[in-house]
Amino acid sequence: GAVVSQHPSRVICKSGTSVKIECRSLDFQATTMFWYRQFPKQSLMLMATSNEGSKATYEQGVEKDKFLINHASLTLSTLTVTSAHPEDSSFYICSARDLRDPMNTQYFGPGTRLTVL
Amino acid sequence: QKEVEQNSGPLSVPEGAIASLNCTYSDRGSQSFFWYRQYSGKSPELIMFIYSNGDKEDGRFTAQLNKASQYVSLLIRDSQPSDSATYLCAVNMGGGYSTLTFGKGTMLLVSP
């Protein structure tokens, strides 16, 4: 149980294009999903908290107009990196929390490696 | 500011030994505690969670929680080279807060 998928697993795009990453909870409903970014040999950095049916809450320093988050259903959240630039190249990881879990366990997706040329 | 502290390591242990990973947290009101393992280039995977003071065992892994001292630890018995990874400690405040505060992780190296 508690499986989270992400798609795509890897994407290479040209500078200036937009990239959409999907995060799905496969066997549970997730009112809350989280988006993280991780640069090589660095810690996980929380970018935003995504709540189903409402606007995402972004961490300080994360541009909400650049990283668009949509959480339209209890099993799907999407992150769109708009007008991507080489400095956006990173490992993007989502996690999801089962709405029935009072202890807020997060289950991570496998991640999406973004390379912007 | 909520903080979770871990020694970055690397912690080197020989195969078959016990690896002991430690974590301290600043928020005394924290309610749930998690250990994740992250292999290089992969996303974190949940190993264990603990909510109550004391020990919790799952196979070769034992999580220990001491709320009075504000530390949580993970023991790995009979360490294997495949256990070599970065171990992340994460803490949740509870009380309606759904986010986890992560430590920076401890790198564990198990030598054959």
Residue B43 has pLDDT above 70, yes or no: yes
Going by their DSSP bridges, the two strands A112-116 and A10-13 should be labelled as: parallel
Q: Write the CA distances from B88 to A10, A84, B23, B40, integer angstroms.
A: 24, 29, 9, 13
Residue B99 binned pLDDT confidence (cut-offs 50, 70, 90): confident
Residue B94 has pLDDT above 90, yes or no: no
Chain B interface includes A32 (CB < 8 A): yes
| Rounded distance between C-alpha atoms, residue A111 and residue A6, angstroms | 6
Residues of A in contact with B49 (CB under 8 A): 103, 105
Chain A interface includes B61 (CB < 8 A): no
Residue A12 has pLDDT above 80, yes or no: yes
| pLDDT at residue B95 in the model | 67
Q: Establish, for the pair of chains A and B, how many residue pairs have beta carbons separated by less than 8 Å.
A: 50
Q: What is the mean pLDDT of chain A?
A: 94
Chain A interface includes B31 (CB < 8 A): yes
Residues of A in contact with B105 (CB under 8 A): 43
Mean pLDDT of B50-64: 97
| More confident: A6 or A100 | A6
pLDDT, tens digit, 9 for 90 and up, residues B4-39: 999 999 999 999 999 999 999 999 989 999 999 999
Residues of A in contact with B94 (CB under 8 A): 103-104
Residue A97 has pLDDT above 80, yes or no: yes
Chain B interface includes A54 (CB < 8 A): no
Give DSSP secondary structure letters for A27-89: SS--SEEEEEEE-TTS--EEEEEEETTS--EEPTT--TTTEEEEEEETTEEEEEE-S--GGG-
Chain A interface includes B57 (CB < 8 A): no
| Rounded distance between C-alpha atoms, residue B70 and residue B85, angstroms | 24
